[in-house]
Structure 1
């Protein structure tokens, strides 16, 4: 009995903190989205008025549109680059361990650090453009971060750089679990390397694709610190994402209820991605 009591006592404070500070505040935010809260929380209920106002705001749809573009490019490029790097390292090349560490290193950094570093690199006044000018190529221009039509792609570049190595590690683990009997049989039949990967190896990586997609999708939906550090949502609203919208309306424009409503929609979007995956994994465990 004592052997069972001690672990429960040790885990209880952490469980209570998670219950209050995570799920408790989630429920509080959900409640605020149905009130008339402005600068401070209010408890006067207004029904779904905040959601109706939210869906009528141009700023919200700008943020959603930016998220659609960002998430599509971020997920697609990260999966493609991660798979390519994993296949490259899987060729038993020299210094495999060193390359794995180099590609994984960006994931050890916070998004604030990544955003700040890429902001310096992409700033025409101090970064890549100025360095190229210093080498004598005065005609070189790379001012995407100052261009409202191109700034979102700067966020994509920084985000892909941050997470591609992590995706590579997931694919590399999947590659090491591939059934090599099929691979050897294909080689005996004269299949080329690219055919083996296309028709035998990659199809066996389906679970890794799904896991990577879920992780990247939820990271895309809740992306905030990278955007703030890199572009601060600008120029204008060109790099606003729903998370930036939520902060602006909750803490800058004193429309806390509208910000809470946007948070609830973001939570529902993440749940749409994560819950089916968790349900599938639980069914697999249940079925052995």
Structure 2
């Protein structure tokens, strides 16, 4: 027994250390390539970096220049339009589809993956496909002309005032199914006894959903908002594939602004400043959510 004790102790220690050893490379990589580069970006936002990084600090000069640029204000306004419509429409469609599927309709097993399929595509694929669909020369407008509706027009993607709404359409198509899955999971998690008790008391279906079901879906609403909001803030690949930020700057968002000023306009300091503001925006969205989750667990 005296000889086996050290072996057992060694095995116990080895079992404790193996997960740490396995996770340590990925943890080190994350610290360097995520948080390390976040710290570098914050530092560069206070430097006079142009085409290449510079480590001479200039204070808040880049932030002052950034907020004086009309292109940045255009990107911010576009983000407000895009994010409000994107979040609102996705939430409405996702909730509606989830309620319909929760009625135990036939073919639910087929409809659910059909609605979820767009989320399996990359935003590059979605942007390219919708660019073809909305192109007046080969898309919906051309098809309607071939069918005889010569007066039909759908040239939003070429219109400065309407182009941002084409981005909303493509983004909603891609993400609504994912939001539906979140709400459907929330609906399936509601205790049926509560619903039966309300029905016994004479509650109509409208009152049932308005006063019981939808309030109980608050965590699903919060999760959907956080996910959609951070997707809206960091939207880049969909814009590049669908409109390229155009026509002009009609669909430019902070993410495309950051890329253009960092890599094509030789203004790395201003680009880093815009990236930091995007980071702060996402943090402002995530922090209350995490606080609410931790408070609920306690």
Q: Into which bin does the TM-score normalised by the smaller protein fall?
A: over 0.9
Instruction: Note if 1:92 corresponds to 2:107.
Output: no
Match of 1:125 in 2: 137
1:115 is displaced (CA, Å) by: 0.4
Match of 1:74 in 2: 86
Structure 1 distance, partners of 2:203, 2:280, is 46
Structure 1 distance, partners of 2:65, 2:16, is 52
Structure 2 distance, partners of 1:132, 1:205, is 42
Structure 1 distance, partners of 2:141, 2:284, is 41
Show the 5 A alignment for 1:192-207. Answer: 192-207=204-219
Show the 5 A alignment for 1:1-288. Answer: 1-285=13-297, 287=298
1:177 is displaced (CA, Å) by: 1.3
| TM-score after normalising by structure 2 | 0.94
Structure 2 distance, partners of 1:177, 1:37, is 52
- Indicate the structure (1 or 2) with the bigger Cα radius of gyration: 2
1:280 is displaced (CA, Å) by: 2.0
Structure 2 distance, partners of 1:96, 1:34, is 54
Cα RMSD of the aligned pairs, angstroms, is 0.9
1:200 is displaced (CA, Å) by: 1.3
Gaps of 5+ in 2: 1-12
Gaps of 5+ in 1: none
Match of 2:5 in 1: none
Structure 2 distance, partners of 1:200, 1:46, is 55
1:173 is displaced (CA, Å) by: 0.5
1:242 is displaced (CA, Å) by: 0.5
1:183 is displaced (CA, Å) by: 1.7
1:212 is displaced (CA, Å) by: 0.5
